[in-house]
Amino acid sequence: MTEPLIECIPNFSEGRRPEVIESIRAAIASVPGVMVLDLHQDADHNRSVITFAGRPESVAEAAFAAIARAAEVIDLDHHQGEHPRIGATDVVPFVPLAGLSMDDCVRLARELGRRVGEELGIPVYFYEAAATRPARTNLETLRRGEYEGLREAIITDPDRAPDAGPPRLGKAGATVIGARAPLIAYNIYLSTSDVQVAKDVARAVRQSSGGLAFVKALGLEVDGQAQVSMNLTNFMQTPLAVVVDRVGSEAAKRGAAIARSELVGLIPQAALVDAAAWYLRLEGFRADQILEVRLQEARQAESATGFLDRLAAPTATPGGGSAAAYAGAMAAGLVAMVAQLTRGKKKYESVHPQMGMIAAQAAALKESLSASVEQDSRAFDDVMEALRLPKESPEQAQVRKAAIERATHRAALVPLRVAQDAARVLELAAETAALGNVNALSDAASAGLLAGACLRAAGLNVLVNAKSVEDRRAAESWERDLAEARRAADQAEARLQESVVARGGLSI
């Protein structure tokens, strides 16, 4: 039987403060059984999108944690951006991936909405498949008037009363929660600064104006350039290439062209393959003709060796931060192994539920730490790229300085997350050493030692970057968070040592 798997893609009304978005991401990642897959941060729209997946109950809990955190750190009275919005957590869609129906996602969305309304006091509207009335199916309708307009309408207009929660807005606004099929969030920039051209093109291509089926579109001005911002709700029925061609032809009618495009979040691989086959006019093309598809299993088998070869190469990345994350991922893998070896033994039947939770948490931490291996390298590369910016004029020097500051923040936040993940792995290692299969005691201990090394190495990277930034409040916050992770790790190491001595007669 397929294990139930669900995706959640919440949108947050903040794209200019990395530390705020990181705190929301951390709230999501802290929930066992959740895999954070992507974070897209857009300063122009002042909006961020986080994609995560996992078991339904875990994903719902992570979504609630994210909404709660966003309500604490985002004040819509002080928010401005190009993208329409009504809430700090603006929209929370659930997408069934495996072992679930759309009806299952609808139930999950409505349960979450009621909880958000009752416990957080945030008005909630249900949309798409979870909508309680046809007029609320479309997100655009619910966003009418945005936060500022809804503030009055939610009180005076019965048609704008929320589906759950109080009929009034606080500084976190309202949240739209629903269930839908996978979509592609895709923006096309035009070779003009005339936003009216983008609005006319959007009107011509979107379904609601008589354009392409399964296409939603807005015309916006982003950083002085006209943009057609789109959601493609069924790429199988209306392929990506068809949409691009139509935008190009409509823009050409108005004296413009496609300058570039961008994705927001993730895209199904099949959509890109279809687009490539379309433009290359390939007949009889099969996905298994893609070299990477054929090589995937072989590459996975050799991935460990490949990383070590890159680590040994005479290049700046991957470096110590990536190595720390890699050690942490190995530690989490060992913890999961010990927990699974314990669950399979009748002798340890009394701790089977606990070991099941530990195995799930360790698996999620392994995914998070594995992703951090490459994220750390990219963060350091961003710092180096900022350092190479020109500084001949005062304006160039200012731009360079700001870029270095932003990149250094990212370079500190990645190892901080790694250190926090490592502290949690160490706590799980201590639990498995105390309660798990005694025949795997050395594996639990090894996991703890690796996690400790990970935390110390990652912590060093945090402190190095904290010394380099001008924002001392941010640096002090990182140092406090790191100190808290270290305290938790120290306590876990002591428990681990006690269990290894008591159960194995060994000292580590």
**pLDDT by residue (tens digit) across 29-80?**
989 889 999 898 988 889 999 999 998 999 999 999 999 999 999 999 999 8
CB 331 within 8 A of CB 448: yes
pLDDT at 95 over 50: yes
What per-residue confidence (pLDDT) applies to 1?
Answer: 37
Token duo for residue 333: 């893998």
Residue 13 in contact with residue 88, Cβ under 8 Å? Answer: yes
Decide: 433 and 503 in contact? Cβ < 8 Å: yes
Q: Which tens digit of pLDDT belongs to each residue from 303-322?
A: 667 788 888 888 888 899 99
Please state which CATH class domain 5-179 belongs to: alpha beta
Q: What is the pLDDT of residues 320-373, one digit of tens each?
A: 999 999 999 999 999 999 998 998 688 998 888 788 888 888 888 888 898 888
The predicted model gives 408-422 an average pLDDT of 93
CA–CA distance from 280 to each of 240, 241, 291, 353 (Å)? 14, 11, 17, 53
For the chain, percent of residues with pLDDT exceeding 70: 97
Of 163, 200, 376, 421, the catalytic one is 376
211: CB partners within 8 A, 6+ apart: 203, 204, 205, 217, 246
To the query of whether residue 90 is one of the catalytic residues in this protein, the response is: no
Taking residues 165-192, report their average pLDDT.
95
- Contact predicate 383/411, CB 8 Å: yes
Show the DSSP H helices in 116-229 as ranges.
Answer: 139-142, 146-156, 195-205
In the sheet where 225-232 sits, what is the strand order?
215-222, 225-232, 184-190, 258-264
pLDDT at residue 2, rounded to an integer: 46
**CATH number for region 306-504:** 1.20.120.680
pLDDT at 102: 87
Could you tell me which of 333, 349, 331, 362 has the C-alpha nearest to residue 437? 349
Name which residue leads in pLDDT, 237 or 141. 141
Enumerate the β-bridge partners of residue 178: 93, 127
Residue 245 bears catalytic tag: no
Q: Looking at residue 108, what is its pLDDT?
A: 96
CB atoms within 10 A of CB 485: 24
Q: Can you tell me the mean pLDDT for 391-399?
A: 92
Angle between helices 240-253 and 269-280 (to 10 degrees): 60
- Strand, helix or coil for residue 83: coil
> Where in the chain are all domains bearing CATH 1.20.120.680?
306-504
Half-sphere exposure of 386 (CA within 13 A, CB side): 20
% of residues, the chain, pLDDT over 90: 71
Q: Judge whether residue 85 has pLDDT over 70.
A: yes
Dump pLDDT digits (tens) for 113-138. Answer: 999 999 999 999 999 999 999 999 98
d(CA 71, CA 74): 6
Taking the C-alpha atoms of residue 184 and residue 189, their distance in angstroms, rounded to an integer, is: 16
The fold adopted by the segment(s) 184-289 is Alpha-Beta Plaits (3.30.70)
pLDDT of residue 506: 82
* Ranges in the chain annotated CATH 3.30.990.10: 5-179
148: Cβ contacts below 8 Å, ≥ 6 apart = none
Q: Once rounded to an integer, what is the mean pLDDT over residues 75-100?
A: 90
Paired with 52 in beta bridges are: 8, 36
For position 5, what pLDDT does the model report? 87
Q: In the chain, which residues fall in CATH 3.30.70.670?
A: 184-289
Token pair of 191 as six digits: 């070779």
Q: Which of 40, 45, 79, 83 is catalytic?
A: 83
pLDDT at 101 over 50: yes
pLDDT digits (tens, 9 = 90+) for 250-304: 999 999 999 999 998 888 888 888 899 889 988 777 777 888 777 765 555 556 6
HSE value, Cβ hemisphere, 13 Å, CA-based, for 173:
31
Q: 97: pLDDT confidence band, cut at 50, 70 and 90?
A: confident
What average pLDDT does this structure show over 21-33? 92
The answer to whether the CB of 321 falls within 8 A of the CB of 380 is yes
Rounded Cα distance, 330 and 334, in Å: 6
Average pLDDT of the chain, as a whole number: 91
First to last CA, the chain: 42
